Amino acid sequence: MPAVSKTDQFTVESYKVSVIQKPGGPERTLTLVSPQVAGGKRTTATLLSQPVNPFAPTLGAVETSSVELVSWISPGLFDSMYAILLTEKPVFCRYNYTINTDQPKTTSWNLNTVDITTDTETPGDFEK
């Protein structure tokens, strides 16, 4: 079964933050949304931060037909990602997933990595 690793990214146009207290501990969520593209579609990434990864052994999944992804992020990473969203511009969400070329009709794939990043910047150039 041939597998191909693929990396995509989108510019984060807007985001939503939520915090929920559950019996198993707190859950914090970042929902990142891309600008609208041709056909009216937007890419959405939901990053769930909770004590235990509910998607183990992967980070989550990418649905390529609707361009949505859901990923677990460790609680220690949440604050860093949120700080980037608060202070930087532009911000990009990049994600890597593995597709199985033997399954051409499948549109949901395991997520390997997810990160948020900025453009190249000059040191000390705090966004105004």
Mind listing the pLDDT tens digit of every residue in the chain (128 residues)? 588 899 999 999 999 999 999 887 788 999 999 999 878 889 999 999 998 899 999 999 999 888 899 999 999 999 999 999 998 999 999 999 998 878 777 888 899 999 999 988 777 666 55
pTM flag (> 0.85): yes
Predicted local confidence at residue 128, as pLDDT:
55
Residue 66's identity, in one-letter code, is S
pLDDT at 126: 63
Q: Is 25:50 a contact under the CB 8 Å cutoff?
A: yes
CB 72 within 8 A of CB 117: no
Q: Which of 111, 47, 53 is nearest to 78 (CA)?
A: 47
Strand pairing report for 68-73 and 108-118: unpaired
Burial class of residue 64, CB neighbours in 10 A (0-12, 13-18, 19+): middle
Parse the chain into domains and list their residue ranges.
3-118
Position 69 scores a pLDDT of 94
Which CATH class for the 3-118 domain?
mainly beta
